[in-house]
Amino acid sequence: VSDEAASGRGTTLKALARELGVSHTTVSNAFNRPDQLSPALRERILDAARRHGVTGPDPAALWLRLGRTGQLGVLFTDRLPYAFADPAAVQVLQGIATVAEHEATALVLVPGSPTVDRGTHAVATAAADGLIIYSIPPDDPLATAAFARRVPTVVIDQPRQPGLPFVGIDDHHAARALTEHVLELGHRRLGILALRFTPHSPGGDASPSRQQSITEPLTASRLAGCREACAAAGAAWEEVAVYECRESSTSQGRDAAAALLAHTPAPTALVAFSDVLALGALDAAHTAGIDVPYQLSIVGFDDVPSGATARPALTTLRQPHLEKGKRAAEQLFSLLRGQTAAPSALLPTELVIRRSTAPPAR
Amino acid sequence: VSDEAASGRGTTLKALARELGVSHTTVSNAFNRPDQLSPALRERILDAARRHGVTGPDPAALWLRLGRTGQLGVLFTDRLPYAFADPAAVQVLQGIATVAEHEATALVLVPGSPTVDRGTHAVATAAADGLIIYSIPPDDPLATAAFARRVPTVVIDQPRQPGLPFVGIDDHHAARALTEHVLELGHRRLGILALRFTPHSPGGDASPSRQQSITEPLTASRLAGCREACAAAGAAWEEVAVYECRESSTSQGRDAAAALLAHTPAPTALVAFSDVLALGALDAAHTAGIDVPYQLSIVGFDDVPSGATARPALTTLRQPHLEKGKRAAEQLFSLLRGQTAAPSALLPTELVIRRSTAPPAR
DNA sequence: CTGAAAGCGCTTACAG
DNA sequence: CTGAAAGCGCTTACAG
């Protein structure tokens, strides 16, 4: 019974059975159905198992036999490493992890793919009984491969899929409320730090014509919300400068703010689609010697902790990230238990006014 | 060929073979050994597969048959959800994810356990070819269960295991350097916001006698470094107030600072074992109307982004978190490829002096 | 180029 | 209370 090293696998239950002179089944029962054998024999078997470092049946065999792995798959954006750069996204994952810990369930984080094929493979192959999909472009091969699995699935934010429960917020409404706040302060020349328009668009200053080509639903909804607020306030949308940020990072926020501020006339208020982006803009303003909020107002979106402690503290639109993750995980677990799917959840958002906004100068 | 819904599994290669009137093997070859059959037949098979939503062989069967899953297990602290609250820890995970994405490999995040049994089970059962262990107490059942797997394993920070490669920093030396900075400014009354002493200790003010019972190697090393610096500078260790924080969060930092500042005489400098803790202390000082750095110096440990943008910007000890994760993942991949283990890596650290430290008042 | 056979490690009726 | 048998879905020599 010492083929462990060679096989890369531990001692098998069968080997244990042979050693003890009992049947394969009996060893299995010792682990799974204690009532099927005498306590004495069971102890003898468990003892031998311990001696051989066997903690239980082989997980690969279990999966094949039982058809479940006890693990949840998580598609955490199409660019796994980038997602960790935004605390808002991390909170979503933390929410998922909170539920997973409680259920003693492991989480399989599936990376998207530089190359299409291998990415498809990783999702198709992920050892998971169900999937949580967070912020994936609707036409991404990752999403396609995920849906092809046909396992219980819950979607957070994007992509909404007919028939699948999702958890999210009303992005349109939220962006409108945020923009209204800025407009009500009297600003008319706005700059928007938007998120990406399509999975592979180049980023940068976005002419109105480029705004036609947006395929990312989240960006489209928010931009539409901004536009609606402007229309209601009688502010000309053509004069709103939009900059596309490819990812939510402070460095993109800095670049975007610098570009936006170089417009003539310069915007008096910047609306960022994430706090991380807004924090980058804040930094750019500091560097340029621009006083926030008296020379420039900046608003974010998300309400991450560092926005609250920034100087000036960031006005933002709060959304419940932790709750998003928790809800999605809970829904997935009830799906897995065969309960009928909970209805999709639209979570509440809230405008949080702090110190980074003020009426325009002059 | 429509048992999909029932079985929870997709169409099998066998079913495909039956439908096409070819052998099981031939279908397998279509996926794995294109040279074993005619291109025309291969296309016919792949076509049928597509029609049935079959993206490849069943992953469970593959794992059992081939003995590998193509996934990496990650034990990300013993309390998975808490780890996401510290940006430093998240950066480690980001480093791991960067390499994983590049290798198109999924990551299995295994939660620790409220209850021992189930936690043990989750590690024992994780669908992983190798393990990365990050910041787990040496005697945690999670660690024990992980080592029992006997798969290629790399440890980050803790617990160092004879025979296993690890990636980390010299905590003793780093803490000493940090403390020396404070001492050189002239401070003699220090307060230390330490990390937990043992997995289940209560936290709070830590008398010298309680300091004897530390089992967490990281806390022990750092405290020893502080102590050594004090001894070298002739500062009495008995007068250094130590507070044990159970986890690295701003709220623990606030509580710790409040408790430490209530000592008589109050410390003139606070040394925190993480930036997140230091940021909490900074907040507590603000709230109490204490001016940092002129009435109180605060130093952190880690160098997370929000420490640099805090007001005042945090003096800290930088450690390369991203690099820790990357190195560990790279070492694990070379282990998995059968290369000899790279030697353990001790990564460099650096004292970063910013605005949160100054000579003591008076 | 194709197909029948063995076996990866296990669980679950089922017969004793 | 115990054990022999079937089968989960696949790959890999091997014989044709």
- State what percent of residues in chain B have pLDDT above 70: 95
Mean pLDDT of chain A: 92
Which of the four pLDDT bands, split at 50, 70 and 90, describes residue A148?
confident
Q: Which nucleotides of C are covered by protein (CB under 7 A)?
A: 1-5, 7-13
At residue A166, the pLDDT reads 94
Answer yes or no: do B64 and A63 touch at CB < 8 A: yes
Provide the pairing of β-strand A153-156 with A166-169.
parallel
Which of the four pLDDT bands, split at 50, 70 and 90, describes residue B8?
low
| B299 against A123, higher pLDDT | B299
- 3-state DSSP helix/strand/coil percent for chain B, to nearest 5? 45, 15, 40
Answer yes or no: do A106 and B97 touch at CB < 8 A: no
- State what percent of residues in chain A have pLDDT above 70: 96
Separation between Cα atoms, residue A340 and residue A335, nearest integer Å: 6
Which residue in B101, B134, B247 has the most chain A C-beta atoms within 10 A of its own C-beta, making it the best mutation to test that interface? Answer: B101
Q: Which nucleotides of D are covered by protein (CB under 7 A)?
A: 1-5, 7-13
Residue with tokens 């034990």: B75
Q: Are B163 and B240 in contact (CB under 8 A)?
A: no
Determine the nucleotide nearest to A33 by Cα–C1' distance. Answer: C11
Q: Are B94 and B100 in contact (CB under 8 A)?
A: no
Model confidence at B272: pLDDT above 80:
yes
Neighbour count for residue A287 (Cβ, 10 Å): 11
- State what percent of residues in chain A have pLDDT above 90: 75
Residue B76: name the closest of B331, B321, B243, B334 by CA. B321
pTM above the 0.85 mark? yes
Distance B32 CA to D11 C1' (A): 9
Q: How far is CA A293 from the centre of its chain?
A: 31
Q: Tokens standing for A93?
A: 């994952």
The predicted-structure confidence for B326-351, as pLDDT tens digits, reads as follows: 999 999 999 999 887 778 899 999 99
| B114 against B54, higher pLDDT | B54
Query: Lowest-pLDDT range, A193-202, A281-290, A299-308, B6-15?
Result: B6-15
| Mean pLDDT within B194-201 | 94
Which of the four pLDDT bands, split at 50, 70 and 90, describes residue B149?
confident
Q: What is the DSSP letter of A267?
A: P
| Nearest residue of B to residue A57, measured between CA atoms | B125
At residue B118, the pLDDT reads 60
At residue A256, the pLDDT reads 98
| Mean pLDDT within B172-194 | 98
Q: Which helix (H) or strand (E) holds B298?
A: strand B297-299
| Mean pLDDT within A67-94 | 96
| Nearest residue of A to residue B54, measured between CA atoms | A148
| Nearest residue of A to residue B282, measured between CA atoms | A309
Residue at shortest CA–C1' distance from C5: B25
Contacts of A133 (CB under 8 A, 6+ apart): A75, A143, A146, A153, A154, A155, A156, A159
At residue B2, the pLDDT reads 36
Model confidence at A118: pLDDT above 80:
no
| Mean pLDDT within B278-297 | 97
Which of the four pLDDT bands, split at 50, 70 and 90, describes residue B255?
very high
At residue B17, the pLDDT reads 87
Helix (H, G, I), strand (E, B) or coil at B338: coil
Answer yes or no: do A104 and B118 touch at CB < 8 A: yes
At residue A5, the pLDDT reads 36
| A320 against B55, higher pLDDT | A320
The predicted-structure confidence for B26-50, as pLDDT tens digits, reads as follows: 999 998 888 888 888 899 999 998 8
Mean pLDDT of chain B: 92
Which of the four pLDDT bands, split at 50, 70 and 90, describes residue A153?
very high
Separation between Cα atoms, residue A31 and residue A45, nearest integer Å: 9
Residue A284: name the closest of A249, A317, A318, A247 by CA. A249
At residue B36, the pLDDT reads 85
Nearest-by-Cβ selection for B106 from A56, A93, A111 = A111
Determine the nucleotide nearest to A41 by Cα–C1' distance. Answer: D1
